[in-house]
Amino acid sequence: MARKRKFIELVEDWEMEYGPHKFKYKDLCYLTTKGFRDKKVLGSGGFGRVYRGIVPTSEIEVAVKRVSHESR
């Protein structure tokens, strides 16, 4: 029987000083952008739309790019 390996997240030295900059997909995309709502769109580019979001735990404003499946 094959076992699934879990990946260990490595924390780099600079992250200890400035805080974590890695987010789970669910946290970054859906919670910050409220599910990629159209009213949160900042613009679009060659690879997809860019959404305005706010990180719930720190209230920091972020831009999240949702890459389009049609982009090449």
Task: List, as residue ranges, the binding site for ATP.
Answer: 65
- Using CA atoms, how far residue 6 sits from 1, 3, 9, 54, 57, in Å, is 16, 9, 9, 29, 26
Question: In this structure, what DSSP letter does residue 71 have?
Answer: -
Question: In this structure, what DSSP letter does residue 31 have?
Answer: I
- Annotated binding residues, written as ranges, equal 65
